């Protein structure tokens, strides 16, 4: 009989993909995924520790699994990902019901560690960071009927932004060989995948550690030549490494979607310097200008941190100025969260939390206006939608995404799923668009 696995994932797309890899690995060892933790023989919590709030949420969730362990002591509870890497043995001291702690470089050994616990009943804690990251090569077969898939192209980060724990928890930057990546994508396309998202902490520096050295644009061109692959996306880009060659790719590669996620973090040069970001707000503006000259349709989204230590009201105004000139299609904004081990811990921070919270509210309200405005610009326009399935909110409708990554709902038959259809946008909302399908089979 198959054993049952429940995975709970916190954090970024990278973590979502790591969880898919965990499910694939355990699947090869007789585990099937179930939807309820209470039914599981193995519960895995894949964690994030980028901000304190995320870490707290995970700790309280772990507490809830204590009652499952009490009623079914044979259930194995494992914790992986960034928080596991960060806390190591401490996690078990604070949560004695946890059997397994595995760090960001130990995912490939998951089955072996679970078997060890099944056989010995001992706890396993494995958080060593390796110079090569074997989990980079783990392949995940596409889920049944899946349209899109994640593909990891690199792991880790060498940038040491002053606020960020990632380089400490995911280790130094390691790129996966291009051939390996292309073969995986071909396998995914053969399995029915139409869209891939290439994942890495800073995809723009992909290939610099490989021998022979290669580059992200070169990889993209290779992916662009794969027959049957409709759409390519990637995340995340660092503005300081966004080359002219990458900008050119947006004009060259038909399957490369017109969207870039380009975290700015701040609009103040003083704060950008303190953050160790390696660019000025002017350089950031210039990069976006080049992208828009090459590809006028491109959607630009970003991350912004408010309340970085010592951020004055003037600095914050510079961030709002940047938003006004760029007019991001969407923005993910965060209140600065102090993380142990990072450089910013030592920076003086006289700004009260209440003021930081107010700044975040101001910024988010401003962005909502911009997002809505950008969405409304599409009213009356014809867009290409890759249909994913039925709409969540209105099951009679179909739902898909534009190449710029906007959700579009429209009335159509279920046989449009997996197809690219032209949709005329009729109404724009903050989080989605509503449209009318124009005719089937064509691509606008
Ligand atoms: N505090 C707040 N936001 C953070 N981010 C990373 N570290 C922190 C932190 N300590 C944000 C950055 C990054 C995104 C993934 O998370 O904006 O781009
Ligand atoms: Fe963190 Fe900066 Fe690396 Fe991004 S580039 S993962 S923010 S250190």
Quote the DSSP letter at residue 71: H
Tell me: do 408 and 339 sit in the same domain. no
Statement: residue 43 has pLDDT above 90 = yes
* pLDDT of the residue at 444: 37
Domain CATH number, residue 93 = 3.40.50.12160
* pLDDT of the residue at 139: 80
Tell me: do 218 and 152 sit in the same domain. yes
Ligand 1 touching residue 50 (CB < 6 A): yes
Tell me: do 120 and 191 sit in the same domain. no
Atom number, ligand 2, closest to the C-alpha of residue 164 = 1
Residue nearest to atom 6 of ligand 1 (CA): 164
User: What size, in residues, is the chain?
Assistant: 444
Residues with Cβ within 8 Å of 168's Cβ and at least 6 positions away in sequence, in order, are 86, 341, 342
Domain that holds residue 233: 141-257
* Lowest-pLDDT range of 19-28, 137-146, 432-441: 137-146
Interval 285-303: pLDDT, tens: 999 999 999 999 999 999 9
Whether 412 is covered by a domain: the verdict is yes
* pLDDT of the residue at 443: 44
pLDDT-derived band at 395 (thresholds 50, 70, 90) equals: confident
Q: Choose one of 352, 377, 402: the last residue of a domain.
A: 377
Interval 191-233: pLDDT, tens: 999 999 999 999 999 999 899 999 999 999 999 999 999 999 9
**What is the residue-averaged pLDDT of the chain?**
94
Residue nearest to atom 2 of ligand 2 (CA): 161
The pLDDT > 70 percentage for the chain reads 98
Rg (CA), the chain: 22
Whether 236 is covered by a domain: the verdict is yes
* pLDDT of the residue at 140: 82
When pLDDT is averaged across residues 104-116 and rounded to a whole number, the result is 94
Tell me: do 17 and 102 sit in the same domain. yes
Q: Would you call 248 exposed, middle or buried from its count of C-beta atoms within 10 A (0-12, 13-18, 19+)?
A: middle
Buried residues in 44-73 as b, exposed as e (16+ CB within 10 A):
bbbbbbbbeebbeebeeebeebeebbeeee
* pLDDT of the residue at 440: 53
Counting ligands in written order, which one lies closest to the CA of residue 303?
Answer: 1
Tell me: do 369 and 390 sit in the same domain. no
Distance 135 CA to ligand 2 centre (A): 20
Atom number, ligand 1, closest to the C-alpha of residue 265 = 17
Whether 61 is covered by a domain: the verdict is yes
Residue nearest to atom 18 of ligand 1 (CA): 303
Choose one of 305, 306, 346 to mutate for the ligand 1 pocket test, by most ligand atoms within 8 angstroms of C-beta. Answer: 305
Atom number, ligand 1, closest to the C-alpha of residue 236 = 18
Atom number, ligand 1, closest to the C-alpha of residue 335 = 2
Residues with Cβ within 8 Å of 34's Cβ and at least 6 positions away in sequence, in order, are 4, 5, 6, 40
Higher-confidence residue of 382 and 441: namely 382
Atom number, ligand 1, closest to the C-alpha of residue 165 = 7
Q: Choose one of 257, 287, 313: the last residue of a domain.
A: 257
Whether 133 is covered by a domain: the verdict is no
User: Hey, what's the torsion of the CAs at 88, 94, 97, 101, to 10 degrees?
Assistant: -10
Tell me: do 8 and 86 sit in the same domain. yes
Whether 95 is covered by a domain: the verdict is yes
Statement: residue 242 has pLDDT above 60 = yes
DSSP strands (E only) in 258-397? 259-261, 299-306, 330-335, 382-390
Counting ligands in written order, which one lies closest to the CA of residue 276?
Answer: 2
* pLDDT of the residue at 134: 67
Counting ligands in written order, which one lies closest to the CA of residue 277?
Answer: 2
**Is 170:282 a contact under the CB 8 Å cutoff?**
no
Counting ligands in written order, which one lies closest to the CA of residue 240?
Answer: 2
Write down the pTM of the prediction. 0.94
Interval 405-425: pLDDT, tens: 999 999 999 999 999 999 999
Statement: residue 138 has pLDDT above 90 = no
Counting ligands in written order, which one lies closest to the CA of residue 334?
Answer: 1
Ligand 2 touching residue 291 (CB < 6 A): no
Tell me: do 243 and 280 sit in the same domain. no
Helix (H, G, I), strand (E, B) or coil at 59: helix
Whether 407 is covered by a domain: the verdict is yes
Tell me: do 334 and 391 sit in the same domain. no
* Lowest-pLDDT range of 128-137, 187-196, 363-372, 381-390: 128-137
| Cis peptide, bond prior to residue 236, ω within 30 of zero | yes
When pLDDT is averaged across residues 339-354 and rounded to a whole number, the result is 95
Ligand 1 touching residue 308 (CB < 6 A): no
Tell me: do 313 and 277 sit in the same domain. yes
Ligand 1 touching residue 239 (CB < 6 A): no
Whether 135 is covered by a domain: the verdict is no
When pLDDT is averaged across residues 254-272 and rounded to a whole number, the result is 98
Residue nearest to atom 1 of ligand 2 (CA): 164
Distance 366 CA to ligand 1 centre (A): 20
Residue nearest to atom 12 of ligand 1 (CA): 303
Please name which of 138, 241, 237, 255 lies closest in space to residue 196, comparing C-alpha atoms: 255
Residues with Cβ within 8 Å of 427's Cβ and at least 6 positions away in sequence, in order, are 379, 433, 434, 435
DSSP code string of 15-58? HHHHHHHHHHHHHTTTEEE-S-GGG-SEEEEEE--SSHHHHHHH
Q: How many domains does the chain have?
A: 4
Whether 263 is covered by a domain: the verdict is no
Tell me: do 120 and 8 sit in the same domain. yes
Domain CATH number, residue 184 = 3.30.750.210
Statement: residue 392 has pLDDT above 70 = yes
Ligand 1 touching residue 169 (CB < 6 A): no
Q: How many C-beta atoms lie closer than 10 Å to residue 289's C-beta?
A: 12
Q: Would you call 1 exposed, middle or buried from its count of C-beta atoms within 10 A (0-12, 13-18, 19+)?
A: exposed
| Cis peptide, bond prior to residue 340, ω within 30 of zero | no
Ligand 1 touching residue 163 (CB < 6 A): yes
d(CA 61, CA 39): 17
Counting ligands in written order, which one lies closest to the CA of residue 342?
Answer: 1
Ligand 1 touching residue 303 (CB < 6 A): yes
Counts of helices then strands in the chain (DSSP H, E): 13, 19
Choose one of 13, 50, 158, 166 to mutate for the ligand 2 pocket test, by most ligand atoms within 8 angstroms of C-beta. Answer: 166
Interval 60-80: pLDDT, tens: 999 999 999 999 999 999 999
d(CA 179, CA 62): 39
Q: Choose one of 227, 257, 287: the last residue of a domain.
A: 257
Atom number, ligand 2, closest to the C-alpha of residue 170 = 6
Domain CATH number, residue 404 = 2.40.50.140
Tell me: do 238 and 298 sit in the same domain. no
User: Hey, what's the torsion of the CAs at 343, 348, 351, 352, to 10 degrees?
Assistant: 90
* pLDDT of the residue at 137: 73
Tell me: do 56 and 103 sit in the same domain. yes
């Amino acid at each position: 009989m198959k054993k049952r696995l429940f995975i709970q994932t916190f954090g970024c797309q990278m973590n979502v993909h790591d969880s898919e890899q965990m499910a694939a690995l355990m699947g090869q060892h007789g585990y099937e995924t179930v939807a309820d933790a209470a039914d599981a023989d193995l519960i895995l919590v894949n964690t994030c520790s980028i901000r304190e709030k995320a870490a707290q949420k995970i700790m309280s969730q772990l507490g809830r699994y204590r009652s499952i362990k009490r009623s079914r002591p044979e259930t194995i509870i494992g914790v992986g990902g960034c928080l596991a890497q960060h806390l190591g043995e401490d996690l078990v001291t604070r949560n004695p019901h946890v059997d397994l702690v595995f760090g960001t470089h130990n995912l490939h050994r998951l089955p072996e560690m679970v078997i060890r616990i099944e056989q010995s009943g001992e706890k396993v804690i494995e958080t060593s960071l390796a110079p090569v990251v074997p989990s980079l090569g783990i392949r995940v077969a596409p889920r049944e009927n899946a349209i899109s898939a994640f593909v990891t192209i690199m792991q880790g980060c060498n940038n040491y932004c002053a606020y960020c724990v990632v380089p400490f928890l995911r280790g130094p930057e390691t790129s996966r060989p291009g051939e390996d990546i292309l073969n995986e994508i071909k396998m995914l396309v053969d399995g029915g995948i139409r869209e891939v998202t290439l994942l890495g902490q800073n995809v723009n520096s992909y290939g610099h550690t490989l021998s022979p050295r290669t580059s992200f644009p070169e990889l993209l061109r290779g992916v662009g030549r794969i027959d049957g692959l409709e759409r390519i996306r990637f995340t995340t880009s660092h503005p300081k490494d966004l080359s002219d060659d990458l900008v050119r790719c947006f004009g060259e590669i038909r399957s490369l979607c017109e969207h870039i996620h380009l975290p700015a973090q701040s609009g103040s040069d003083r704060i950008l310097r303190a953050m160790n970001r390696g660019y000025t707000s002017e350089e950031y503006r210039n990069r976006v200008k080049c992208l828009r000259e090459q590809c006028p349709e491109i959607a630009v989204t970003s991350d912004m941190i408010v309340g970085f230590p010592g951020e004055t009201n003037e600095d914050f105004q510079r961030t709002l100025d940047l938003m006004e000139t760029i007019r991001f299609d969407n923005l993910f904004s965060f209140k600065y969260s102090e993380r142990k081990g990072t450089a910013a811990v030592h920076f003086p921070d006289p700004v009260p939390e209440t003021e930081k919270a107010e700044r975040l509210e101001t910024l988010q309200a401003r962005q909502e206006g911009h997002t809505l405005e950008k969405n409304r610009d599409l009213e009356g326009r014809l867009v290409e939608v890759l249909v994913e399935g039925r709409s969540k909110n209105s099951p009679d409708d179909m739902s898909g995404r534009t190449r710029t990554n906007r959700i579009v709902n429209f009335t159509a038959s279920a046989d449009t799923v997996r197809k690219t259809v032209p949709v005329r946008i009729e109404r724009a909302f903050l989080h989605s668009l509503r449209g009318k399908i124009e005719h089937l089979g064509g691509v606008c």
